[in-house]
A = this chain, B = another copy of it.
Amino acid sequence: MARRAELIAIGRKLFAHTSYDALSMDDIARQAHVAKGLIYYYFQSKRGYYLAIIQDSVADLVTYAASGLELPPVDRVHRTIDSYLRYAEHNQAAYRTIVSGGVGFDAEVHAIRDGVREAIVATLAEGAYGRSDIAPLARMGLLAWVCSVEGAAVDWIDRPELSRDVMCELLVRTLGGSMRAIEEMDPTYPAPEPARREA
């Protein structure tokens, strides 16, 4: 298993800024200093290897987003968005793949992306409403915001005209706006104080 983790760590570096198509298995084996057969042994195919890499890298993102429970909500949101943007910045190729839904047949990458979205929606719901099982309207409002972050982050890594701090502040504020929109339509989901105060 150590070997598998090692190969994934190498793959994360290789694929961080290089797209799936741009690296062949021969390139990968050469740069990783391992026999191609070893990669096939653990991952069956280049696609299997790539999916394992993406899953591993996404796990970091989700873990980080769900951490910091000891922080006040607004700081936690700031930290989550900031770490999300850092992730996009430092794993551009992988991030683009996840958000745009993958390479070729992409049900698996879609599933990974949907998992990240739902994990973030659940984290936001916990933070704002104290539970992750929320009504369809509140869920949709939060999900729409998560999708706005995805789209904004992809655009931002393609043309970084704004600093990460400005991006972060903008997205914290639009989250506040989304939470107030939810509250206006369903008062049983009140926007948390910081979101209300900040407006």
Q: Which residues of A contact B (CB under 8 A)?
A: 100-101, 104, 106, 110, 117, 136-137, 140-141, 143-152, 155-156, 161-162, 166-167, 169-171, 173-174, 176-178, 180-182, 184-185, 198-199
B170 x A137 contact (CB < 8 A): yes
B144 x A171 contact (CB < 8 A): yes
Query: Can you list 17 A-B pairs, Cβ within 8 angstroms, ordered by A?
Result: A100-B110, A136-B162, A140-B156, A140-B161, A140-B167, A140-B170, A144-B170, A144-B174, A147-B150, A148-B151, A148-B178, A150-B151, A170-B185, A173-B180, A174-B174, A174-B177, A177-B178
On chain B, the residues within 8 Å of A181 by CB distance are 170, 173-174, 176-177
Who on chain B is nearest to A178 by CB? Answer: B174
On chain B, the residues within 8 Å of A141 by CB distance are 170, 174
Instruction: Report the copy number of this chain in the oligomer.
Output: 2
> Shortest CB–CB separation between residue A136 and chain B, in angstroms?
4
Who on chain B is nearest to A154 by CB? Answer: B147
Q: How far is the CA of A141 from the CA of B185 in the complex (A)?
A: 22
Who on chain B is nearest to A159 by CB? Answer: B136
Who on chain B is nearest to A158 by CB? Answer: B114
Residues A185 and B167 in contact in the complex (CB < 8 Å), given A140-B152, A147-B152: no
A140 x B169 contact (CB < 8 A): no
> Shortest CB–CB separation between residue A124 and chain B, in angstroms?
14
> Shortest CB–CB separation between residue A68 and chain B, in angstroms?
23
Residue among A137, A145, A176, A180 with the highest chain B CB neighbour number at 10 A: A145
On chain B, the residues within 8 Å of A198 by CB distance are 184
Closest 7 CB pairs of A and B: A177-B177, A147-B151, A173-B181, A148-B148, A144-B148, A144-B152, A136-B161
